[in-house]
Amino acid sequence: MTIPDYQTIMLPLLRLSADGEEHKFRTSIEALADEFQLNSEERNELLPSGGAPLFDNRVGWARTYLKQAGLLKSSKRGFFSITDRGTELLAQNLPHIDVSVLDQYPEFREFRTRRKEKPSDKSPEQEISFIKAETEETPEDSLAAAYYKIRKSLEVELLDQIKDSSPSFFERLVIDLLVKMGYGGSRQDAGRAVGKSGDGGIDGIINEDRLGLDVIYIQAKRWDGTVGRPEIQKFAGALQGQRAKKGIFITTSSFTKEAIEYASFIDTRIILMDGEKLTSLMVDNNIGVSTTGVYELKKIDTDYFEG
């Protein structure tokens, strides 16, 4: 099952508190995860910022909206309980609760007004887009979607730049990336190693660690077409000729299904890095990109107010 949005969580969260008792927020997250039948991967999926699990964040926003509508209340840190208004709403047996339902309460409308910009600051199209985003997504969801779009656009531009570069530049790029990821020892050591072999389908050799306890053989090519199984078989044969156990095949294009299956089947460990993975790792490791701005996400420091 996909991770539910924060509005889908509202009714189950309110029902969870229907007994009138105080509920611990952390425990409620686990109970709701069970109710939505989320698997381990879905429960642990993080926001793009890595700051918190995505499902936890959405439960938090569902609780915030219900509190702003006067349906839930918090008597102490980390706990919540239902209000009389919340009990009355549950008695209506609504099929779902969303922002349109909460809009009946003046406190919630005031809360939404505080979060919006003045209508005069927006065109009608922007205002519709803003309301739609607010009602369908949490602020973190909206930010994550914008970040993902910007990043994917950057990765596409980055790959175009790589394809237009010279073979020698691509070789240096691969070295810079692997060193930044912790392979090859120093940049100078890696530079001497990569590009020296050229033996039987092997473009280079680089240390797996700074001490050189093991080595990794590299095939790095700017391919125009899809890399198929024969190319991977050739590389695997070259590795066997060197009695090597590990290799990385890097390309600016992609791999066929047969190539991927073959690499996963053989005993020799071969990592396939296509253009999409290459540019993703470059962005992660700040290779060929620079930071244009930093936005900090902050939350209430509850310890400060309890001091």
Same domain, residue pair 198 and 274: yes
Inform me whether the pLDDT recorded for 259 exceeds 90.
Answer: yes
**CATH number of the domain that residue 39 is part of:** 1.10.10
Same domain, residue pair 193 and 96: no
Inform me whether the pLDDT recorded for 75 exceeds 80.
Answer: no
What percentage of the chain exceeds 70 in pLDDT?
83
SS3 state of residue 138:
coil
**CATH number of the domain that residue 199 is part of:** 3.40.1350.10
Which pLDDT score, from 0 to 100, does residue 127 have? 39
The sheet that has 269-273: what strands, in order across it?
194-199, 202-207, 215-221, 246-251, 269-273
The answer to whether residue 291 sits within a structural domain is no
How is residue 110 written in tokens?
A: 């005031």
Same domain, residue pair 236 and 120: no
Q: What are phi and psi of 217, to 5 degrees?
A: -95, 145
Any bridge partners for residue 202, and if so which? 199
Which range, 51-60, 84-93, 144-153, 285-294, has the best average confidence (pLDDT)? 84-93
Domain-terminating residue out of 81, 101, 136 = 136
Same domain, residue pair 128 and 170: no
Which pLDDT score, from 0 to 100, does residue 146 have? 83
Lowest mean pLDDT among 48-57, 83-92, 134-143, 229-238: 134-143
Which pLDDT score, from 0 to 100, does residue 186 have? 66
In this predicted model, what pLDDT tens digit does every residue of 217-253 receive, in sequence order? 888 888 878 999 999 999 998 888 888 888 999 999 9
CA-angle at 207, arms to 244 and 277, nearest 5°? 85
Which pLDDT score, from 0 to 100, does residue 132 have? 44
The answer to whether residue 26 sits within a structural domain is yes
Same domain, residue pair 166 and 275: yes
Give the structural domain span for 49: 6-136
Same domain, residue pair 93 and 47: yes
Same domain, residue pair 34 and 124: yes
The answer to whether residue 100 sits within a structural domain is yes
In this predicted model, what pLDDT tens digit does every residue of 125-156 receive, in sequence order? 333 344 444 556 788 888 888 888 888 888 98
Lowest mean pLDDT among 8-17, 93-102, 200-209, 220-229: 200-209
* pLDDT classification of 207: cutoffs 50, 70, 90: confident
Same domain, residue pair 128 and 49: yes
- pTM comes to 0.64
Pick the more confident residue, 241 or 31: 31
CB within 8 Å of 235: residues ≥ 6 apart: 201, 202, 219, 247, 249, 270
Inform me whether the pLDDT recorded for 9 exceeds 90.
Answer: yes
Which pLDDT score, from 0 to 100, does residue 133 have? 44
Same domain, residue pair 176 and 275: yes
The answer to whether residue 296 sits within a structural domain is no
The answer to whether residue 154 sits within a structural domain is no
The answer to whether residue 292 sits within a structural domain is no
What percentage of the chain exceeds 90 in pLDDT?
46
Pick the more confident residue, 197 or 219: 219
Inform me whether the pLDDT recorded for 193 exceeds 70.
Answer: no
Q: What are phi and psi of 204, to 5 degrees?
A: -175, 170
Domain-terminating residue out of 102, 136, 170 = 136
Domain count, the chain: 2
The answer to whether residue 193 sits within a structural domain is yes
Same domain, residue pair 85 and 125: yes
Q: Mean pLDDT in the chain?
A: 83
